[in-house]
Amino acid sequence: MLHDSRPRRPVAGNRIDLIGLPTDAGASCRGARLGPDGLRAAGLAERLASIGYAVADRGDITAAGKLSPAAEIDALSPLASEAAYRSLDHGARPIFLGGDHSISMGSIAGVARHCRDNHRPLFVLWFDAHGDFNTWTTTETGNIHGMALARLCGEPGFCNDPRWFAPVDPRKVMILGARALDCEEAQLIDERGVQVVDMDVLRVSGVEAPLRTFLDRIEAVNGHLHLSLDVDAMDPSLAPGVGTTVQGGLSLEQGETVMDLLFRSGRVGSLDLVELNPLLDRGGVSADVMVDLTARLLGGLTTVQHVKQQETA
């Protein structure tokens, strides 16, 4: 674990917008639509406020009517994109509460538009057990949340209206913690120049070196970093409340190290918290892990450290 002597306090710009996207249209397992309320019930807003942020809960974005999964995602994406653009334009840091990972098709598209219009390079850290780089021609499951990053990087087969969509440069994307890539998906990821730091790499060399290199690239060009945090990046023994568990994920210590490095970089200007499924959670432990990691990312202590600090005070 890294030990940072710098005071843990918010970086410049302490306004946060929480924006819920309660959908599980992209997943095969129902329940992720309850994720935003699960994160709220776990005290996300209160934790961030306790470390000095001005937190505004902007409520939920929903699609009207009974729609097919694909139609629901296509209805939500422009709305999420506009919410991201508006939040950033008002000087806040948007945090999107999922919902399955399909929400990023809109949230990151809006961040990409804002970065484009402000002439600032966008980088994306896809913190996930999966690559989510399938297309309609490569998918083995048909689940749309497994296509989110491919759509964002401009792969064909998706209806992306430039009024709400701007593409992400795949060469400015890192997938961190991957351990479940489909064969054709992995080939496409490699062809497009997406950097993958999988669990085999992390077990051998640790998380610090590749992430520091990635963050140095962002610093060199004054880039904006969007973190898309899927709870299944963590080992299911720590975070069982997800419909796509994959054994062998990150430990809590590794997750905290990632958040420490991101906090010290000062580069994370927007993020997604996705795939929390309260129906599969045990006593809310997965929601607590996500709240802890988010607080750590933004300069706070984890719950365990907070309790120890109180005991020694």
Q: Among residues 114, 130, 224, 226, which one is catalytic?
A: 130
CA-to-CA distance for 309 and 183, rounded, in angstroms? 47
122-127 and 173-178 as β-strands: parallel, antiparallel, unpaired? parallel
Among residues 132, 182, 260, 288, which one is catalytic?
Answer: 132
Give the separation between CA 93 and CA 87, rounded to whole angstroms: 7
- Is residue 132 annotated as a catalytic residue, yes or no? yes
Q: Tokens 């997800």, residue? A: 242
Residue 101: active-site member: yes
User: Are the C-beta atoms of 274 and 99 separated by less than 8 Å?
Assistant: yes
Residue 226 is a catalytic residue: no
Tell me, yes or no, if 288 is annotated catalytic: no
Of the listed 24, 72, 182, 230, which one is catalytic? 230
Asked if residue 32 lies in contact with residue 275, where contact means CB atoms within 8 angstroms, the answer is: yes
Burial environment of residue 37 by CB neighbours within 10 A (0 to 12, 13 to 18, 19 or more) = middle
- Does residue 232 have an active-site annotation? yes
- Nearest Cα residue to 148 out of 120, 163, 123, 128: 128
Establish whether 74 is a catalytic residue: no
Of these residues, 24, 100, 128, 182, which one is catalytic?
128
The beta strand positions in the chain, using DSSP E, are 15-21, 54-60, 93-98, 122-127, 173-178, 195-198, 224-230, 268-274
Spell out a b/e string for 187-201, using b for 16 or more CB atoms within 10 Å of the CB, else e: ebbeebebbbbbbeb
Pick the catalytic residue from 17, 74, 182, 275.
275
Question: Rounded to whole angstroms, what are the CA distances from 294 to 268, 277, 291?
Answer: 11, 17, 5
Give the integer Cα–Cα distance in Å for 242 and 240.
6
Which of the residues 72, 74, 145, 224 is marked catalytic?
Answer: 145
Catalytic residue among 17, 72, 182, 232: 232
2 burial (CB, 10 Å; 0-12 / 13-18 / 19+) is exposed
The residues carrying an active-site annotation are: 101, 128, 130, 132, 145, 230, 232, 275
